[in-house]
Each structure stands twice: as structure tokens, then as C-alpha cells.
Amino acid sequence: KCAEVAMRAVRKSAKLADVCYDIRGPVLARAKQMEDEGHRVVKLNIGNLAPFGFEAPEEIVVDVIHNLRDASGYSDSKGLFAARKAVMHYTQQKNIAGVGIEDIYLGNGASELIVMAMQALLNNGDEVLVPAPDYPLWTAAVSLGGGYPRHYICDEQSGWLPDLDDIRRKIGPSTRAIVIINPNNPTGALYPDSFLKELVEIARQNQLIVFADEIYDKMLYDGASHTSIASLADDVLFVTMNGLSKNYRACGYRAGWMVVSGEKRHARDYIEGLNMLASMRLCSNVPGQWAIQTALGGYQSINELIAPDGRLTRQRDLAWQLISDIPGVSCVKPQATLYLFPRLDPRIYPIEDDQQFILELLEAERVLLVQGTGFNWVQPDHFRLVFLPHEDDLRDAIGRIARFLEQYRKR
Ligand code: PLP
């Protein structure tokens, strides 16, 4: 008879020790459990458009189906020529100079490219300036790449604009790059040109690479327009991320792109690294790539949704008004995206653990939000809400949040 062998625990890699992605974290696991038990949970936690009736434009769907037979093989590692050509034209519309086909990489969503861009760049101990609050994949990707995410503060009092002095203070000998998310998730801020120009100057003086996440660049309200930071200089290295997930309501197609522009001459080695990583994953999913040319060149139906009486605008206005009406809750009105990032006055809501707070809300009212610390915001006094549901559903969901907060105040 064999002696029983003590089983060794299978542990995750130490590389993941500082990696965190709470948007799909433990609170979501509890929400799923509640759904399995037969409860309906209102999910205001993820910027996934299709479940709320925001579907990909028919033109894209038809073209993907049409091209499916040509999508069985691997493509070029960087992606289909026609799709990259369409992205190249898009960079021209956005006044990003000097972009050729070889400067464009297609990926399984911007997500894959964000991780790839950090893996190709970082050595242990390199620092990257990342916004707080941020879209947490950026912080996670820096950590996973062996780097150190150094968070710069976005200032709620100034409409969530990044604090330039804080950025300057946090630049040191190991700082390699700065990430800006514009329009911003989770705050909904859209950065003015004057700010972008100052940021470019900081990058220029300190030889920082600018990673610009512009995935919401068409989801703008009140007639606003978006400037790509990469259009503002040709002597700074820019890596710009974008994709079909949000502007074209095609999250599930996993179609994103990355554009390298500006001061490329000194970045040949880094570009070689990017090319190697793109080759190692062979290519991104080809059916999704077929959607890109049609999306970028076709009818821009997003404009209907963001018009003054468009569905997204109406939902933004309503959600912002209802949230702002709750005692002790304030919120900078988003100029873009599909999120609110409200503040809970700590004198009225003395929250110590915001994940616990979000969990209690879920248990009591079956509404799922994401806690502010999930976006690397330090104080436990914010949460993010997605205003994707129809107006009646938003009234119901925010009504439940208000009811929970009323109980909280009475504690
Ligand atoms: N960047 C930001 C700011 C996002 O909000 C998201 C998704 O929510 C992504 C990147 C990832 O997008 P993709 O679906 O293209 O991977």
C-alpha cells in the first residue's frame, strides 16, 4: 500500500502579489451567487453595453458574419491590413502625424495591448505614473510587468483634472512613462487642450512615454470634442489605445488597437519588444478584426446616443440628478463615458471599508456597484455607477441606493 503523500498547495505566482482587479472581484462573486439562488440583481458595475440594449451597429454585425469564412486562419501578428489601414485613417482624422501601417497593432480588446505594452517596457523597479482613480487594469498591468505604479492624484475639486504639481513631484530617476485615461473611467472627465499641452511639456522635459487610453473618445456629451494627446507633439513617444468596445458597443468582439507615434526613432528597441510579444500571441481574434474597417468608416450611430435628447445623454442627466439629490452625496457631472463616480461625505457616511459597504448594499437592495478603492482611490468614500439602464430602471436602482443610504444615516 502506498504511503499517503502530503499534497503541496498550488499557489499563484508571486508576480500576482500586487495585482488587483476588483471590478470583477469578490463582490461580483457574491452577486452571482445571489443570482444562482434566483434573485434579480441590478448590475451597475461593468461598462458592458449589450445587456442594456445598446447593441453593435447592424452594419458591423452583418460584415463580421459576411467575413467569417475568411477568418479561419491566423492573420498577420499586428492584424489585418484593411483594419489597420482604417485605424491609420482614423489617426489622420485625429491629427496624429506620421502613423504608418507598421505603427498599428490590433489586439483582443485594448486590454491585451495594455498588458503587452507594459510587459514589453518594464524592468523590475521601473516606475509608471498612473492616475488615481484609474481604470485598474493599468495599475495591474504595471505591477504584473514588474514595475511600480506611482499614482498621481486627479482633483475632484477641479472636475477631476490630474494635479500637474503632484505629477511633477512624483517623477524620479526610475520614472519611465505616464498613463492618461482621457476621457476618463471612472470619473467621466474630459481633459481640455490646455491641460494636455502642459502634460506633453512634462513628458518632453522628463523623457517620459505617454500612454493614452482613449477608448471613450466618441462618447462625449454637450457637444464636446476630444483631442488626442498624440496630436500635440512629434518629439514625445506616444502609445495610444482605442477600440470598438465602447464607441461601437462591441465589447464582446474583443477588437482593440494600439498606435505608436511621435518620437519613434529612439524607441526601436521597445518597438522590437512589442513586435515580439505581438508575434508570440500569433494574432488577435480575426472575426473581431473584420469589424474595425466597417465600424470606423461606417455610419457613426454613437452620435444619436450622445445627442442632447439621445439615450445616453438622458440617462447621464437623470442618473447624475438622482444621485446628487441624495443627502451627503455629491458628484462631478461627467462630460463623457458612461460612469458616475460620486462622493459620500465621510461626516455623514463614516465608511471604513468600502468593499464591505458595497457588499451590504448588495445584500440589502440587490444593486451591484464597485467601490472607489477598486479604482485605486485611497479613501473609502467613492463608488462607481454605470448609467446604462433605461430611465425607469435607473430610477428604481438609484431609489434603492438612496433607501440604503437613508438607513445608513440612521445607524
Ligand atoms: N480602458 C478603459 C479606460 C476601459 O474602461 C476599458 C474597459 O472598460 C478598457 C480599456 C478595456 O477595453 P477593451 O474591451 O477594449 O479591452
Query: Could you tell me the domains of the chain?
Result: 14-54+304-410 (3.90.1150.10), 58-297 (3.40.640.10)
Please identify, by atom number, the ligand 1 atom nearest to the C-alpha of residue 46. 8
110: left (phi > 0), else alpha (psi -120 to 50), else beta? alpha
Q: What H or E segment, with its residue span, contains residue 205?
A: helix 193-206
Cβ proximity of 365 and 404 under 8 Å: yes
Q: Closest residue (by CA) to atom 13 of ligand 1?
A: 109
- Residue 45 Cα to ligand 1 middle (Å): 14
Which of the listed residues 46, 106, 135, 182 should we mutate to test ligand 1's pocket, taking the one with most ligand atoms within 8 A of CB?
135
Give the count of beta carbons closer than 10 Å to the beta carbon of residue 15.
11
Rounded to whole angstroms, the Cα distance separating 306 from 263 reads: 35
- Residue 110 Cα to ligand 1 middle (Å): 6
Rounded to whole angstroms, the Cα distance separating 35 from 196 reads: 44
Rounded to whole angstroms, the Cα distance separating 38 from 34 reads: 7
CA 340 to chain centre: 14
Cβ proximity of 260 and 267 under 8 Å: yes
Cis peptide before 186 (omega within 30 of 0): yes
- Residue 245 Cα to ligand 1 middle (Å): 7
Could you give the angle at which helices 286-297 and 58-67 cross, rounded to 10 degrees? 140
What pTM was computed for the model? 0.96
Q: Is 188 in the pocket of ligand 1 (CB under 6 A)?
A: no
Please identify, by atom number, the ligand 1 atom nearest to the C-alpha of residue 256. 15
- Residue 185 Cα to ligand 1 middle (Å): 9
DSSP 57: P
Rounded to whole angstroms, the Cα distance separating 161 from 192 reads: 9
Q: Is 185 in the pocket of ligand 1 (CB under 6 A)?
A: yes
Q: Is 251 in the pocket of ligand 1 (CB under 6 A)?
A: yes
Q: Is 109 in the pocket of ligand 1 (CB under 6 A)?
A: yes
**pLDDT by position in tens, the chain (length 411):** 566 778 899 999 888 888 877 767 789 999 999 999 999 999 999 999 999 999 999 999 999 999 999 999 999 999 999 999 999 999 999 999 999 999 999 999 999 999 999 999 999 999 999 999 999 999 999 999 999 999 999 999 999 999 999 999 999 999 999 999 999 999 999 999 999 999 999 999 999 999 999 999 999 999 999 999 999 999 999 999 999 999 999 999 999 999 999 999 999 999 999 999 999 999 999 999 999 999 999 999 999 999 999 999 999 999 999 999 999 999 999 999 999 999 999 999 999 999 999 999 999 999 999 999 999 999 999 999 999 999 999 999 999 999 999 999 988
Which of the listed residues 139, 246, 384 should we mutate to test ligand 1's pocket, taking the one with most ligand atoms within 8 A of CB?
246
- What single letter denotes the amino acid at residue 316? R
Q: Is 243 in the pocket of ligand 1 (CB under 6 A)?
A: yes
Q: Is 182 in the pocket of ligand 1 (CB under 6 A)?
A: no
- What single letter denotes the amino acid at residue 390? H
CA 342 to chain centre: 18
Rounded to whole angstroms, the Cα distance separating 341 from 370 reads: 10
Q: Is 135 in the pocket of ligand 1 (CB under 6 A)?
A: yes
- In sequence order, which ranges of 37-108 are alpha helices (DSSP H)? 58-67, 81-93
Q: Is 141 in the pocket of ligand 1 (CB under 6 A)?
A: no
Q: Closest residue (by CA) to atom 8 of ligand 1?
A: 47
Q: Is 184 in the pocket of ligand 1 (CB under 6 A)?
A: no
Q: Is 110 in the pocket of ligand 1 (CB under 6 A)?
A: yes
C-alpha closest to that of 278 among 134, 107, 32, 151:
107
